[in-house]
Amino acid sequence: MRKRAEGGFSLLEVLISMVVLTVGLVGLLAVFGVATAATQTSQNDMIAKQVANEAYESIVTARNTSQISWDDIQNVGSTNCPISGAATCGIFLAGLNPIYQPATTGVNAGIVGTSNYLGEQTLEEPGPDGTYGDADDLMIPLTNYQRTIQIAQLQDADGNVVPTLRSITITVQYTVPQRNGPKTYVLNSYISQYP
């Protein structure tokens, strides 16, 4: 009678399984690192989206309430002024600008992105007790955010300017500690002369 060989794993099989398991665990740790970084920047992404939406809603509200004219809904220094006939028109600052809180009085009061502002805008968050409006609220300055409001004339298929329609591109640029360069959020929309 022959003796049966005892079954089991060889040392080589154990080493190969350990290498496969280690590679899998290292890959899983990398996924956790990416997920953690994305979670940490999600608040900044949400703030950028809200800052862009705030600017667009401000422009539309000013148009709907007749607070500003159609000529004013352009960047400062525009030469397309069909209603007033002025040499230049437009009230919205061109280029990257800090996120300013709009002034509550005076010309262009309450309109975001103009030269009439109170100072840099801050974000208010509830303090440790979780309620707004008490002494422990946190005021977070938006110093690492900048916004561009670009308003452009639209052209039809023949290259003629469409006088009653303009495109609005709002770009918010901001920095986050987890990235080497700036991030951007872009909001594209259109606005008509008529509410």
pLDDT at 169: 98
pLDDT at 1: 57
Q: What CA–CA distance (Å, rounded) separates 27 from 93?
A: 47
Domain boundaries, the chain: 42-192
pLDDT at 41: 82
Q: What CA–CA distance (Å, rounded) separates 48 from 53?
A: 9
Point out which residues pair with 138 in neighbouring strands. Answer: 125
Point out which residues pair with 124 in neighbouring strands. Answer: 139
pLDDT at 7: 66
Per-residue pLDDT of 130-167, as tens digits, reads 888 888 898 888 999 999 999 999 999 999 989 999 99
pLDDT at 2: 60
Residues of the chain with pLDDT under 50: none
Q: Please give the model's pTM, rounded to 2 decimal places.
A: 0.78
| Residue closest to 184 by CA, chosen among 195, 163, 170, 194 | 170
Rounded to 5°, angle at Cα 47 from 41 and 48: 90
